Amino acid sequence: DIQMTQSPSSLSASVGDRVTITCRASQSISSYLNWYQQKPKKAPKLLIYAASSLQTGVPSRFSGSGSGTDFTLTISNLQPEDFATYYCQQSYSTPLTFGGGTTVEVK
């Protein structure tokens, strides 16, 4: 199985900050990497698919990059509604696996 490792597990930030979350795969997954946002008591929401494609309706302050084993999610100009937990997920092969999550908290 492909292991996904996210870092950091949590971070503190302020509105307006630029935030970067990293995700590393245990083997190459090409660009089959997706990012989700989850708020408390809510279902996850797709932000980025195929490493860098922004899902329709998602603000352009969210961006994704990377290929192979190393990926990043960047939130530029952090907004109050962006405080949440973020997960990466590989779809290169089954079983489909997620990273452990990164919680973005208010500083």
Partner 1 sequence: EVQLLESGGGLIQAGNSLRLSCAASGFTFSSHAMSWVRQAPGKGLECVSSISGTGGSTYYADSVKGRFTISRDNSKNTLYLQMSSLRAEDTAVYYCAKGGRDGYNQPSSNWFDPWGQGTLVTVSS
Residues in the site for partner 1, rule: CB under 8 A? 1, 32, 34, 36, 38, 43-46, 49-50, 55, 87, 89, 91-101
Q: Which is nearest to 70 in space by CA: 103, 104, 102, 27?
A: 27
Sign of the CA dihedral with 57 first, then 58, 61, and 67 last: negative
Would you say 11 or 96 has its CB closer to partner 1? Answer: 96
d(CA 105, CA 12): 5
Residue 82's CB is within 10 A of a number of other CB atoms, namely: 19
Q: What is the nearest approach in angstroms of partner 1 to the Cβ of residue 62? A: 15
By C-beta, is 17 or 45 nearer to partner 1?
45
How far is it, in rounded angstroms, from Cα 47 to Cα 84? 12
Question: Do you know the residue count of the chain?
Answer: 107
Least gap, CB of 28 to partner 1 (angstroms): 14
Min dist CB 51 to partner 1, Å, is: 11
Minimum separation from the CB atom of position 10 to partner 1 (A): 13
- Closest CB to partner 1 among residues 19, 32: 32
Judged by beta carbon, residue 34 or residue 78, the one nearer partner 1 is 34
